[in-house]
Amino acid sequence: MSPAPIRRSQRLNQITHAPHEQLDKAVKANAPFETLASYCRFLSAQYLFQHELKTLYTDPQLIELIADLPQRCRAEQARADLNDLDTPIPGPVAGSVSNPPLAEALGWLFVSEGSKLGAAFLIKRAVSLNLSETFGARHLGEPAGGRADGWKRFIRILDDLPFNEEQERQIDRGAVAAFERFNVLLEHAYKSAVEAEPA
């Protein structure tokens, strides 16, 4: 019996393993839950990433595929978190995703939606800084209907789309680019915070 064909979501997990690990290391190195100041830098990166993806979460073509897509966006929660902590809303960083093909956009969304699973662990860490789903860490909170259910619904849609070879390449490219972009935004958030500190 031949092995079952690998699902698209499984392939995306495999090809993003290296950039995902690199990002995990970068997050750990910056220790976002050691101090509130460090968390605010991490939050700035989260806000920038979610704000950049807002155009994808509100794209009519993508909403046709995933009806609840606009409600899944966390840009406003991240903005509210910044306001809770009296942290300025960061300005845009050059190089944001712009009008990608549909399949590539889904690669970006795959990474953004998948990060909600990891957020379950992050919010537990945030509690030590007196943050919660209603103050300062809204963007890490549990989505309506639960993390696992929302992810399974997203993956079911993603895996069942009839893609050609070029679209498969595009979705792969989008997923890898999303991890690389968050790395850039994380580096920017911590570097700009250091530069802003008085000598």
Q: pTM for the complete prediction?
A: 0.95
Q: Which CATH architecture does the domain made up of 30-189 adopt?
A: Up-down Bundle (1.20)
All structural domains of the chain with their residue ranges: 30-189
Q: pLDDT 10s digit of each residue in the chain, 199 long?
A: 667 789 999 999 999 999 999 999 999 999 999 999 999 999 999 999 999 999 999 999 999 999 999 999 999 999 999 999 999 999 999 999 999 999 999 999 999 999 999 999 999 999 999 999 999 999 999 998 899 999 999 999 999 999 999 999 999 999 999 999 999 999 999 997 666 554 4
Q: Is the dihedral of CA 28, 17, 49, 130 positive or negative?
A: negative
